[in-house]
Structure 1
Amino acid sequence: MAWRFALALAPVASDDAREDFSDTFRPLDPGAPALPVGELSAQRGDGVFESLGVVDRHPQEVGPHLERLAASAALCDLPAPNPEQWRQAIRAAAAHAPITGEGVLKLILSRGVEHGATPTAWVTVADAADNSAVRERGIRLVTLDRGYALDVPTRAPWLLLGAKTLSYAVNMAAIREAKRRGADDALFVSSDGFLLEAPTANLILRIHGRFVTPLPAGGILHGTTQRSVFAHLERSGHDTAYEAIPVADLAKADAAWLVSSVRLAAPVTAVDGIRLAVDAPRTADLNRHLLSRRD
């Protein structure tokens, strides 16, 4: 990933109502060391983040991403981010994204230095990977047991299963395991047999003409891209739903996609070696919509 630009954000109260926050962030050299040794994001993954797509220097879905950043911060007992400060920092960083084509913005909020008084926050922008091929040819998945039942997030909220935290080691291990098994990505399932999500994406199935996705209450990150896809489908007259989906229902699906902010909509071609049909026209329609989004 080619880093282009980075900004450090100074702590600001969430209710600070000033109009100009430009004096609260400063550029960083994206190729130089920036974090102190005691930074808890590096030591413990103690923080939250968001990844936004940027198309032709236009950041996508800024409002939903900032809402989810605030929700993750609340779950982790981090100070509430000031949305206008972050919005202005996003605009400043996006100005350094590719003039044409796709980039990726990352928003990061950590607990800061151990025993320190303030959190650490920064925004980065980089070139996005070329995802055009995977959007066309699709991806093969293997199901992996996530190790807990569907109701565990409700019974044990301290596991932070609904927060987008920096603790991504398990997610990356799942992708490596999927590749060891000859697939491209993993699809988590609950120990009691329900579909969840991929390590970095949400799952959407089309079953009997309805578009369904697993319930966020199952410890699934409520995806901004998945919500945008559902809104687009609903405007086109399609039925959408959030449901507890048994693993066995994969056999009923006539099409499936993984969706995320940067990869966008990738059709699923197989799960555990069982082939799924690919709806190329629908996939193209979803990606046209997702590429056209603006803040």
Structure 2
Amino acid sequence: MAWRFALMIDPVSDDDTRTDVADTFTAIDPAAPALTVGELSTQRGDGIFESIGVVDGHPQEVEAHLQRLAHSARICDLPAPNLAQWRAAVLFAAEHCGAGESVIKLILSRGVEHGPAPTAWVTAAEASDFTRARTDGIRVVTLDRGYTLDVPARAPWLLLGAKTLSYAVNMAALREARSRGADDAVFITSDGFVLEAPTATLIVRHGDTFLTPAPNAGILHGTTQLSLFEYLQAQGHTAGYSVIAAADLADADAAWLVSSVRLAAPIVAIDDVAVPHDVVLTAEMNRYLLSPRD
């Protein structure tokens, strides 16, 4: 990953109405040390983050990402982020991204143990090349997430539905998928319903209808999926949410994993069962997702 920029933020309260927040930012060397050993984000993964795709210096879907950051903060009982401050930080970082595809990450940590809180920073880096995934497609396996569909409602302390820094399970799932000869995974509940991928949202197509699992089971509401649904509906398609049984995945006419940086990656096999690959529609999706979107 080629780092392009890093910015430490001195968070201001959510009710701070100042319009100029430039004095709350400090540009730092992205390769230099920046966090203390007592930082809870590194000690416990106690914090939240967002990844924003940037195309030719234009940050995509900033408002949707900021709203999701605020949503994650509420779930995790973190101080409410001042969205005007974070918005300014995103635009400042985007100015350093240049041509091509980049990724801006927003990180809000609970702070330092027994010390100042919270800690916040923004990074910008060159995005990986996802051409192969977007054109040739990906193979996925289904993995048991270890809880039933109703657990998020019964156990909100599990923080399901928040984009937290605690990504050890997600990364372990990707390693397991690769050990099985696949590129990615799709989580399912222990009672057999589809959730999401470790770092992406699932969309399945049945005829002219596009569906994604309903975000009421601890699923992270996908910003790219929301934008793509608007595009599909504008093209005359039907798009919506549903409780999807894992057993029904094999009947899909097409399927994709979508995310802010990889964009739309067509699924060509689920658990070694081939899935139809709509090459033309996938190309149209990615052309749209690479266009400037606010």
TM-score (norm 2): 0.99
- Aligned residue pairs: how many? 294
1:164 paired residue number: 163
State the SS of the aligned residue for 2:67.
helix
1:282 paired residue number: 281
State the SS of the aligned residue for 1:251.
helix
1:120 paired residue number: 119
| CA contact 2:163–2:220 (8 Å) conserved in 1 | yes
Displacement of 1:117 = 3.6
2:65 paired residue number: 65
| CA contact 2:5–2:93 (8 Å) conserved in 1 | yes
1:50 paired residue number: 50
2:291 paired residue number: 292
**CA distance in structure 1 between the aligned counterparts of 2:11 and 2:135, rounded to whole angstroms:** 43
**CA distance in structure 2 between the aligned counterparts of 1:94 and 1:240, rounded to whole angstroms:** 31
**CA distance in structure 2 between the aligned counterparts of 1:153 and 1:258, rounded to whole angstroms:** 22
State the SS of the aligned residue for 1:20.
coil
The 5 A counterparts of 1:213-292 are 213-292=212-291
Displacement of 1:132 = 1.2
> Taking every aligned residue pair, what percent have the same amino acid on both sides?
67
Displacement of 1:288 = 0.8
**Alignment-mate amino acid for residue 161 of structure 1:** L
**CA distance in structure 1 between the aligned counterparts of 2:55 and 2:89, rounded to whole angstroms:** 17
Residue 32 (str. 1) matches residue 43 (str. 2): no
C-alpha deviations, 1:8-41, integer Å up to 9, x for none?
Answer: 0102011211111000011011001110000000
2:196 paired residue number: 197
C-alpha deviations, 1:157-194, integer Å up to 9, x for none?
Answer: 11001000000000000000000001001110000000
**Alignment-mate amino acid for residue 21 of structure 2:** F
**CA distance in structure 2 between the aligned counterparts of 1:194 and 1:208, rounded to whole angstroms:** 21
C-alpha deviations, 1:261-285, integer Å up to 9, x for none?
Answer: 0000000000000000100111011
Question: Gaps spanning 5+ residues in structure 2: where?
Answer: none
**CA distance in structure 2 between the aligned counterparts of 1:77 and 1:90, rounded to whole angstroms:** 23
Displacement of 1:118 = 1.9
**Alignment-mate amino acid for residue 108 of structure 2:** L
State the SS of the aligned residue for 1:217.
coil
| CA contact 1:144–1:188 (8 Å) conserved in 2 | yes
**Alignment-mate amino acid for residue 273 of structure 2:** I
**Alignment-mate amino acid for residue 228 of structure 2:** V
**Alignment-mate amino acid for residue 213 of structure 2:** P
**Alignment-mate amino acid for residue 266 of structure 2:** P
The 5 A counterparts of 1:53-202 are 53-97=53-97, 99-202=98-201
Displacement of 1:79 = 0.4
Displacement of 1:235 = 1.1
**CA distance in structure 2 between the aligned counterparts of 1:153 and 1:159, rounded to whole angstroms:** 7
C-alpha deviations, 1:139-160, integer Å up to 9, x for none?
Answer: 0000000000011001101100
**CA distance in structure 2 between the aligned counterparts of 1:32 and 1:194, rounded to whole angstroms:** 44
Q: Segments of 4+ in structure 1 off by > 6 A? A: none
| CA contact 1:51–1:104 (8 Å) conserved in 2 | yes
Displacement of 1:252 = 1.6
Let me know the Cα RMSD of the aligned residues.
Answer: 0.7
| CA contact 2:250–2:270 (8 Å) conserved in 1 | no
| CA contact 2:111–2:117 (8 Å) conserved in 1 | yes
**CA distance in structure 2 between the aligned counterparts of 1:11 and 1:213, rounded to whole angstroms:** 35
C-alpha deviations, 1:83-128, integer Å up to 9, x for none?
Answer: 111111111111111x221000000000000022420000000000
State the SS of the aligned residue for 1:216.
coil
**CA distance in structure 1 between the aligned counterparts of 2:242 and 2:273, rounded to whole angstroms:** 23
**CA distance in structure 2 between the aligned counterparts of 1:11 and 1:287, rounded to whole angstroms:** 35
**CA distance in structure 2 between the aligned counterparts of 1:7 and 1:239, rounded to whole angstroms:** 41
**Alignment-mate amino acid for residue 15 of structure 1:** D
| CA contact 1:11–1:118 (8 Å) conserved in 2 | no
